[in-house]
Amino acid sequence: MHIKGGRVIDPANGVDEVRDLFVTDGIIVEEKPDHAELIDASGKVVTPGLIDIHVHFREPGQSHKETIATGSRCAAAGGFTTVVCMPNTSPVADSTATIAWIQERAAATACVNVFCTGAITRGLGGEEMAPIGALAAAGVVALTDDGRCVQNHGVMRRAVEYAKQFGLPLMDHCQEATLSADGVMNEGEWSTRLGLPGWPSLAEDLIVSRNILLAEETGHPIHCQHISSARSVRLLREARRRGVPITAEACPHHISLTDEGLKTFDSNFKVNPPLRTPADIDEIIAGIADGTITILASDHAPHAPYEKEVELDQAPFGMLGLETELAVFLEILLHQRKALSLPEIIALLTINPAKLLRLDRGTLSNGAPADITILDPGHAWTYDKNDSASLSRNSPFHGMSLRGRALVTIVGGKTVWDLESGFRS
Amino acid sequence: MTTTPYSWKHKDLCALADHSAEELLTILHTATAFKGVGERNLKKVPALRGKTLVNFFIEPSTRTRISFELAAMRLSADVVNISASASSLEKGETLLDTARNLEALRADLIVIRHKSAGSARFLADRLNASVINAGDGAHEHPTQGLLDAFTIREKLGRIEGVKVAIVGDILFSRVARSNIQLLTKLGAEVTLVGPPTLVPASFSSLGVRISHSIDEVLEQSDVINLLRIQHERQRKEYFPGVGEYTARFGLTRKRAERLKEECLIMHPGPMNRGVEIDSDVADGRGSVILDQVTNGLAVRMAVLYLCSGGAPLSKPDANS
């Protein structure tokens, strides 16, 4: 493969220049191979394949919402070549058998690289430690009880200490359950207007604080997922300045939508943690810009239409994300806010998540797997959820005009999707 | 939302927050015309003859359900009542499917009470039938807000500039939210009174004042509207108990003596005598609690009539 004339951005190597890129046998190489397939990337941007460390592909157990096959197509159509699946499947990914099942399923049906996380506690129950050593041996890249934050601090402390011997980072959905209680949206002006139970930022801030202390105490990395609150950003900033091994991610919806989106009781805007206020958005963006938040992710969470078409407080939390993720990040961070440069944004979608989870990806170095995304950061388009590759349709971005889009997605040296002709298989 | 003065072009009434002052005044004026019907010997007009109304109450209610039922009957509509235990919701059917079945049976109006905020709006957006919100969780109870405003206007002759204190469990109260929406749109000065846990600071964004002492508002209020402490929705973490609540926020006889002579005492019911209001005060001078109930009929007739496409009745008067 010969990718010709693109602006190659490879933050891992500090590269940002127009040049050609060569691929042989699924590996990035220095020399142009004979009879190479030519891809003209002139006027386009060529980056390492994008990585999303927070997706829900719903297999096993909830394949009416999404499958590994359909979820991976969403990833490919969004420019993502690698995803990391959350363990809240049915059964929960807390055993080597389930991990093996997912890995086999991914090998057979996924068009992008699919990595697994394992549960911290059995059944996401928050009490008994999952077989962490066996999960590590089975190849999970992190441990998390995503969606069911471990409430018991003693359990969480022991899990962090135990995971350290395997070098497995923990990823935590930060939500203190007695404070969030039965909340369905951000506690504030809009929950007051709408009479809906509030889920206060405080519930996130408290667990972020807990995780900072545990990471500091144990010296082992903890990653705070989908940060939604301004104060959480400030806590993380202060801790990272002190050198605490704590990291955090931000999602597209938490920097582009606010709790006002729920004013028509549209359950597509119901997500956990909830959409918050313009002030929270400002602080999260500031945190992304100043290096407090080092990873961008989608929290792609499909739910079937009939599950979302219910009273708001009964509807499940979550929204689709992979297909709009790159565009929303570019629209907000690059075009509207001018908060980061394109190479800086690409780092948060490639080498940073790869480093956290020790994946041999996220770079265009010679010898690296040829996962490559060709994109146009200025491509103007309108998202139509009816064109989605997902089995579900729960997107709040339907009908939104966005700038920035993946054009070609290459996984292991093979084009799996391009904008003109769609999926290759 | 349309803001044409004195008109109503909506099939639904889900929340007073959705409507302009002019639209809401249209309902109040139309209610004035309908109030006369209830005072006549023959309490019936043919306005909704041939229409079918379903009272779909998924939360317990007597007052509101009967009021809607009588309002519909006085307009000559046919009325069917269903409750949660008698509906297929018990068998796992979704709210939307149940409502679509009612529509398939050619219900013209669906009056819904439901524990989930936004449930009326959810159905209104998906059905051709008119949907009238009779209380959705802690969100709104629009006809209660309208009948409260109607009563204030009837008794005091105006709403603009009237000082209204709403006392009690504001956080969980749909009555409070509908009152706040309507009264602030019509120019009243609203003060919410209760402990900080039940009157959180976030309410100040709704254009109201907040007080944590009933004693602060007694002398200045033109209207005092007492809300029930909703035991069934509340956990002990919000306040220590009924005794302390009554001591700090109850309208006792002693406190009632400090009210202006012409101050209206209101309560949406059901009342807990001796808790938020002293029994003598509930029955005493200034109490318009039963007038509220009577006016509820006229207001609900107006709402059903307008949402069925009826032309507004009665010219607006200068006092509104």
Interatomic CA distance for residues A208 and A239, integer angstroms: 10
Number of Cβ within 10 Å of residue A375's Cβ equals 27
Which residues of chain A does B117 touch, with a Cβ-Cβ cutoff of 8 Å? Answer: 194-196, 265, 312-313
In angstroms, the CA A5 to CA B261 distance is: 86
**pLDDT value for A299:** 98
The mean pLDDT values, 10 residues at a time, for chain A of 425 residues are 98 98 97 94 98 98 98 98 98 98 98 98 98 98 96 98 97 98 97 98 98 98 98 98 98 98 98 98 98 98 97 97 98 98 98 98 98 98 98 98 98 98 92
Residues 6+ away with beta carbon under 8 Å from A387: none
Task: Tell me the whole-structure pTM to 2 decimals.
Answer: 0.95
Enumerate chain B positions whose Cβ falls within 8 A of a Cβ in A. 17, 94-96, 114, 116-119, 121-122, 125, 136-140, 174, 177, 200, 202-203, 205-206
The H-or-E segment that residue A194 falls in is helix A189-194
Q: Which of A382, A412, A409 is nearest to A75 (CA)?
A: A409
- Considering only the beta carbons, identify the residue of A187, A194, A309 that sits closest to B118: A194
Chain A residues near residue B114 by CB distance under 8 angstroms: 311
DSSP string for residues in A294-358: -EE---B----HHHHSS-GGGSPP-B--HHHHHHHHIIIIIIIS--S-HHHHHHHHTHHHHHHTT
Q: How far apart are CA A277 and CA A255, in angstroms?
A: 10
Query: Measuring CA to CA, how many Å separate B147 from each of B17, B24, B69, B162, B297?
Result: 16, 11, 16, 16, 8
Contact B117 A314 (CB under 8 A): no
Position B233 scores a pLDDT of: 58
Name the minimum distance, in Å, from the CA of B3 to any CA of chain A: 19
Instruction: Report the pLDDT value the prediction gives residue A425, as an integer from 0 to 100.
Output: 80
**Residue B249 tokens, joined:** 């926020």
Asked whether the beta carbons of residue A195 and residue B139 sit closer than 8 angstroms, the reply is yes
Element (H, E) at A8: strand A2-10
pLDDT band at B315; cut points 50, 70, 90 = low
Distances (CA, A) of A210 to A152, A349, A357, B261: 11, 26, 21, 57
B186, pLDDT greater than 90: yes
Whether residue A139 contacts residue A116, with contact meaning beta carbons closer than 8 Å, is answered with yes
Distances in whole angstroms, Cα of residue B234 to Cα of each of B198, B228, B229, B238, B241: 10, 12, 8, 7, 11
3-state secondary structure of A158: helix
- Listed in sequence order, the residues at least 6 apart from B295 whose beta carbon sits closer than 8 Å to its beta carbon are B31, B35, B147, B150, B151, B154
Residue A198 sits at the vertex; the CA angle it makes with A322 and B57, to the nearest 5 degrees, is 100
Q: Starting at the edge strand that comes first in sequence, how are the strands of the sheet with A50-55 ordered?
A: A50-55, A80-85, A113-116
Number of Cβ within 10 Å of residue B103's Cβ equals 18
Identify the pLDDT of residue A349: 98
> For chain A, how many residues are written?
425
ipTM at complex level:
0.93
pLDDT of residue B312: 87
Instruction: Give chain B's largest Cα–Cα span.
Output: 56
Give per-residue pLDDT as tens, B27-71.
999 999 999 888 888 889 999 999 999 999 998 888 999 999 999
Nearest chain B Cα to A188, which residue?
B202
The pLDDT of residue B129 is 97
Share of chain B above pLDDT 90, in %: 81
- C-alpha distance from A261 to closest chain B C-alpha (Å): 13
Q: Which residues contact A412 (CB under 8 A, 6 or more apart)?
A: A26, A113, A369, A370, A371
- pLDDT, residue B39, reads 85
Per residue, what are the HEC states of chain B? CCCCCCCCCCCCECCHHHCCHHHHHHHHHHHHHHHHHHHCCCCCCCCCCCCEEEEEECCCCCHHHHHHHHHHHHCCCEEEEEEHHHCHHHHCCCHHHHHHHHHHCCCCEEEEEECCCCHHHHHHCCCCCEEEEEEECCCECHHHHHHHHHHHHHHHCCCCCCEEEEECCCCCCHHHHHHHHHHHHCCCEEEEECCCCCCCHHHHHHCCEEECCHHHCCCCCCEEEECCCCHHHCCCCCCCCHHHHHHHHCECHHHHCCCCCCCEEECCCCCCECCCECHHHHHCCCECHHHHHHHHHHHHHHHHHHHCCCCCCCCCCCCC
Residues B137, A306: C-beta atoms closer than 8 Å:
no
CA distance, residue A48 to nearest chain B CA (Å): 44
State how far the Cα of A345 lies from the Cα of A362, in Å rounded to an integer: 13
DSSP H or E run through A159: helix A153-164
What is the Cα B209 distance to its own chain's centre?
A: 20
Contacts of B246 (CB under 8 A, 6+ apart): B252, B274, B275, B276
How far, in Å, CA of A211 to CA of B312, rounded? 61
CB contact under 8 A, A195 and B94: no
Please name each of the domains of chain A with its CATH number: 49-363+380-400 (3.20.20.140)
DSSP-derived letter for residue A48 is E
Interchain CB distance below 8 Å, A195 and B140: yes
pLDDT band at B5 (very low <50, low <70, confident <90, very high): low
Q: Rounded CA gap, A179 and A249, in Å?
A: 22
pLDDT at B86 over 90: no
Find the helix or strand (DSSP H, E) in which A28 lies: strand A27-29
Length reported for chain B: 320
- CA-nearest residue to B205 within chain A is A189
Residue of A189, A196, A309 lying closest to B117 (CB–CB): A196
Max CA pair span of chain A: 66
pLDDT band, very low/low/confident/very high, at B318 (cuts 50, 70, 90): very low
pLDDT at B37: 86
Distance from CA of B15 to the nearest CA of A (A): 10
